Amino acid sequence: MFDEIAKNGHLLRIRPDLLVALFCFFAVVFVGTGILFLREQHRGSLRKRLAAGAFDAHPKETAARSRFLLLVEKIGNFVSHGQASTNLWEQLIRAGYLSRAAPATYTGIKIFLFVAGLTVAAILVAPADRSILQKIWLVSLGGIGPFFLPNVVVLARERRRREEIRRYLPDVVDLLEICVSSGIGLDMAWNMVAEQIHHVSPVLATAMDLSNFEIHLGATRTEAMRNMAMRTGADQLSSLATILVQSERFGTSVAIALREFAGAMREERRMTAEEGAEKMAVKLIVPMVLFIFPAIIIVTIGPAAINIARVLLFR
């Protein structure tokens, strides 16, 4: 075929600059489409939240979800005999699942995913030409993988909540210090700050509301603050609880203690940011080797390789 094209005088010529321009065009199109898709997805989630706040737009979907949760809760109660370990309770509470049915639902979802994974793996592996032992291993892996998926989700949610608390707690402490310095009591300042930060950090605001609710039910501030630190698993809240309890016990200035604590937290956050920046050079090696270096090689050596191939194939 190449000989016939060469005899007719029609050579296939590929311009390197045109090839690079096409690559750049498609890359920009793909990146732009991804950004627009993410923005539209974010707007869609906001619209759903606003609609859910006004009225129930999908009653059938909500009813189906409730039935599914009730089913997995029954499965979890049957497997765990209605009892959950203390470690599981604490982990779910730190992840933000405060419902009494959370452990049973968690266990039921794990069992449901395990059975579903086994079933799907068995359907996929059964027609394959493999030995019985290999099929058993593949089916087992198909069930074990989904079984541990809820663990990953809970750990990720717990880590994200701790990170949100660590990010916004210095600002909250500053607001508390300003309110206390202006003559407002600590209880009133706590309520005002919790109300103001609901739209900024719902996790921290909810933790503060729960601790205030415990105080209204008769718990001491020490118990409420320690329970708040336990529910979130954030070391910063545990330190804040200790500082407030000691200030109240020894009669020292709460405003000064809060000011010093906020400064220490900002210094810790700055040092953490510097540590992350120093680690960034090492973390960038993998994406550079996988994505940046191949692109550079294609751009630099690609035109020469095309010319060499053209000479070798069409001479």
Residues 56, 62 contacting (CB under 8 angstroms): yes
65 shares a domain with 41: no
210 shares a domain with 139: no
Q: Tell me which residue of 101, 80, 240, 227 sits closest to 165, measured CA to CA.
A: 240
DSSP, collapsed to helix, strand or coil, labels residue 286 as: helix
pLDDT of residue 73: 76
**DSSP sequence for 49-111:** HHHHHH--S-HHHHHHHHHHHHHHHHHHHHHHTT---HHHHHHHHHTT---TTHHHHHHHHHH
206 assigned to some structural domain: yes
160 assigned to some structural domain: no
User: 236, exposed or middle or buried, with CB in 10 Å at 0-12, 13-18, 19+?
Assistant: buried
Our count of domains for the chain comes to: 3
pLDDT of residue 43: 65
162 assigned to some structural domain: no
92 assigned to some structural domain: yes
277 assigned to some structural domain: no
101 assigned to some structural domain: yes
pLDDT of residue 47: 61
Residue 242 structural domain:
167-272
241 assigned to some structural domain: yes
Q: Which two tokens stand for residue 292?
A: 């940046």
Residues 138, 125 contacting (CB under 8 angstroms): yes
- The model's pLDDT over 80-123, given as tens digits with 9 standing for 90+, comes to 776 777 788 888 888 888 888 888 888 888 888 888 888 888 88
266 shares a domain with 206: yes
266 shares a domain with 173: yes
Mean pLDDT in residue range 252-274: 84
101 shares a domain with 43: no
**What does the alpha-carbon distance between residue 90 and residue 155 come to, in Å, rounded to a whole number?**
12
7 assigned to some structural domain: yes
